[in-house]
Structure 1
Amino acid sequence: MIEVRTAHTADLDAGTLSAARSLLDDAFAGEFTDLDWEHALGGMHALVWQGSELVGHGAVVQRRLSHVGRALRAGYVEGVGVRPDQRRRGHGAAVMGALERVVRGGYDLGALSSTEEALGFYAALGWKLWLGPSSALTPDGVVRTQEDDGGIHVLPGTVALDLTGELTCDWRDGDLW
């Protein structure tokens, strides 16, 4: 039997945070960095438990995105992963369902950057591939992030979006998207 729980980072104990970090290390085969983990903190987490074992994780944090001259509150999805031996059992969809509820209830839109392997997964859940150019508002001004084009998805919410227009994210250390 699986159970999906949501909780803010501040409400998770050290053991749960450690288990989530370890799960993401396994899910991303050692490619999940400390900065990636930092990006997943400070918001709401969706945790999928099978008994006492954590088998899935994802988080949504607030970011500012700019589109057609408007600053938008985005629920930005980070750190979505399922333990490798538990994949293809609906755990990822359960994580995303919980995160989408948070996004729809509190943000103008949802956004995420996907690995190439997960593009179909997000599309199947109704996330829309961003077709326009991406950029970031950096300390040096707006900088084009062409390497991220084709991997950004949005979950439309309360504002109209032109999926072919430019989308600009706020600055942060590590991966910008």
Structure 2
Amino acid sequence: MDRMTEVRTAHTADLGAAVLDAARALLVDVFEGELTEDDWEHSLGGIHALVWEGDDLIGHGSVVQRRLIHGGRALRTGYVEGVGVRADRRRHGHGGALMDALERVIRGAYDLGALGATDEGAEFYNGRGWQRWQGPTSALTPSGVTRTAAEDDCIYVLPVQVPLDFSGDLICDWRDGDVW
């Protein structure tokens, strides 16, 4: 039987150093040491969903604001970052609970949600109603719009406020590290 868990949400500014350190350590473990400084930085500055089992942090995800350009419009986008559940606590509904909290934020505050899914995560997001972007992806870089063809099959969106042409172009704003 699962122990009692609680999902809490808070802005980065309202989390103390100990909680942020625990979240970062969790993600380093979840991503088997592949979490870069930029990856962690991308998870900050928005709303975090944290799954606690007693005093143990067992899950984390965050949604940060980004601008995606589609159909000639800059769309206020809730971009999901740093989603992970401790290996021994997976398949108990904790990832779904994290996403419930993050999707509530997205639906209440953004034009759409977006995320870059791993191959392992794609089925999970698809099952929640996220849709794989069918059109070409690009990034608005300091030198102009640059295609990101390697990401074309990895981007998922959650439509909220605006109609989307899933076969059209989708352009993300610039940031250090992985742009998507």
Q: TM-score range by the shorter chain?
A: over 0.9
The structural deviation recorded for 1:155 is 0.4
Which residue in 2 is equivalent to 1:100?
A: 103
Where in structure 2 are the equivalents of 1:2-151 lying within 5 Å?
2-151=5-154
Superimposed CA distance per residue, residues 129-171 of structure 1 (whole angstroms, 9 cap, x where no aligned partner): 1011000000010000001011100000100001111100000
Secondary structure in structure 1 of the residue aligned to 2:60: strand
Query: How high is the TM-score relative to the length of structure 1?
Result: 0.99
CA distance in 1, matches of 2:37, 2:146: 24
CA distance in 1, matches of 2:87, 2:30: 6
Aligned residues, how many? 177
Task: Specify the code of the residue in structure 2 equivalent to 1:96.
Answer: M
- RMSD of aligned alpha carbons: 0.4
Secondary structure in structure 2 of the residue aligned to 1:105: helix
CA distance in 1, matches of 2:92, 2:41: 27
CA distance in 1, matches of 2:46, 2:60: 13
Identity of aligned residues (%): 67
Runs (5+) with no aligned partner, structure 2: none
Spell out structure 1 runs of 4+ moving beyond 2 A.
none
CA distance in 1, matches of 2:106, 2:74: 16
Runs (5+) with no aligned partner, structure 1: none
CA distance in 2, matches of 1:162, 1:106: 21
